[in-house]
Structure 1
C-alpha cells in the first residue's frame, strides 16, 4: 500500500495515551523527517528524501506530489495524534478541573518528548506551509489550544485557579510544553514521565491552583 493511500489520520487509535511506541510514519515520511531535522525544510531536496527513504525520486513522486505535500502530511499526522491523545487524557479519570488540567499537561509534555522530532518540525516549519495546508494547521493548533484555555477559564471561574490573566497563562503553558521538543534528547537523568510530573507542578503554579 502506497503512502498516499495509507489510512487517513482520523482513523488513528490510541490504546493508552501515556504509551508511545515508534511513530508509524512509513519510509518516505520517516526519511523526510530526518532530513528536515538535519537540513531544515528549505535545505532538503526530494533527492535527499529519496536517498534517505531508500527510494528513487520517481518513487517518492509516486506517493507525494511535492516536498510541500510531505511536510503537510507530517504536520497533519502530528497534530492529529496530539489531539487524539489529549482527548483520551481528558477522559481518563476524575472529571474535576484540576485532575483534567494535570492530565492534559502530562499529555502535552509526553507527546513533545516522545514525538520530539515531528513535534519540532510541525511547530518550527509553520512558515513553510502554504495555502490550505497552512490554514488547516492554524485551525488544528487553535483547536488544541482551546482545550487548555477552556480548562484554565473553568478553573478560574470556579475558584480552583487564581490568575488575573487566564488566557495569557494558558498560552504561556502551551509554549513551555511545546518547548520540550526543542531541548529533550532522551539522554538526561529524567524520563519523560518524570519531566511531565515536574511540569504539572510548574503549570499548577502558573495558573495559581489552590
Structure 2
C-alpha cells in the first residue's frame, strides 16, 4: 500500500506532501468525487487511466475494492497521524485534545478529496462497512478519552463531555466539505482556529 494510505506513511504528523496515488486509485478518487460511487463505472475509471477494463480488473477485483482501498486507506492514514500526535502531546489531556483537533483538521484540509469520501460509507458492503466504522470509532475514542480525562481533572467544564467530544469531532471532519486550497487561510491557520473553537466548546479552564 502506498504511503498516503498507510498508518505509518508519515514522518511528521503535521507535514504533508502532495498526495501520491497509483494511477488507478487517483482516477477512481477523481471519478468518485465528481460522480459519486454509484454514478461511476469501471469503464469510466479505465478510460481515465488509459487502460482496458480487463487490465483494471487485473489489479482490482471490482469497483468496491477500489472504494475500500481509498476509504480504509484514508482512515488508516489519519489514525496513524493522530496516534503520533497523541504520543507527542504526552499525558496531559488538554494537550492531547488540542493535538488531536489540530491533526484531524490538518488531514481534512490537506487530504480533502480522500476525506470527503467518508460520505460514501453507505456504499460499502456490510463487512467492509463494519471494518471502516470500527476504525472511525477508534478515532472518536481518542477524542472522547482526552475530553473525559480533562473533565476529570477539572480542565474542561462542559457538563456534556460525550456530546461535546462528538460535536468537536464532527466539526473538525466537516472541514473536508468546504476547504479549498486557494482560500485565504492555510491548513495550519485553520487548524489553529479550530483548536481555539474546540477548547471553547468543551469549556476549557485556563490555569492561572
Secondary structure of 2:127's aligned partner: helix
For residues 200 and 7 of structure 1, the distance between their equivalents in structure 2, rounded to whole angstroms, comes to: 30
Task: Structure 2: give runs of 5+ residues left out of the alignment.
Answer: none
Of 81, 85, 102, 2:81 maps to 85
Greater shift after overlay, 91-100 or 197-206? 91-100
| Structure 1 residues 133 and 149: alpha-carbon distance in aligned structure 2, compared to 1, 3 A threshold | same
What's the counterpart of residue 171 of structure 1?
A: 166
Q: Is the 8 A contact 2:13 2:85 kept in 1?
A: yes
What's the counterpart of residue 3 of structure 1?
A: none
Q: 1:10: Cα distance to partner?
A: 5.3
Of 38, 42, 49, 1:53 maps to 49
Map Cα deviations across residues 90-142 of structure 1 (whole Å, 9 max, x no partner): 11245311111111110000000000000001x10011001210100110000
Is 1:37 the counterpart of 2:33 in the alignment?
yes
What's the counterpart of residue 196 of structure 2?
A: 201
Secondary structure of 1:190's aligned partner: coil
Q: Is the 8 A contact 1:32 1:53 kept in 2?
A: no
TM-score using structure 2 length: 0.94
Of 109, 126, 129, 1:134 maps to 129
| Structure 1 residues 120 and 11: alpha-carbon distance in aligned structure 2, compared to 1, 3 A threshold | closer
Q: Is the 8 A contact 2:7 2:79 kept in 1?
A: no
Map Cα deviations across residues 166-207 of structure 1 (whole Å, 9 max, x no partner): 011111011111100000011111000000000000000000
Map Cα deviations across residues 144-177 of structure 1 (whole Å, 9 max, x no partner): 1000000000011110000111011111011111
Of 11, 17, 21, 2:13 maps to 17
Q: 1:7: Cα distance to partner?
A: 6.5
For residues 89 and 126 of structure 2, the distance between their equivalents in structure 1, rounded to whole angstroms, comes to: 39
For residues 152 and 8 of structure 2, the distance between their equivalents in structure 1, rounded to whole angstroms, comes to: 34
Secondary structure of 2:183's aligned partner: coil
What's the counterpart of residue 71 of structure 2?
A: 75
For residues 90 and 45 of structure 2, the distance between their equivalents in structure 1, rounded to whole angstroms, comes to: 45
Is 1:147 the counterpart of 2:142 in the alignment?
yes
TM-score using structure 1 length: 0.93
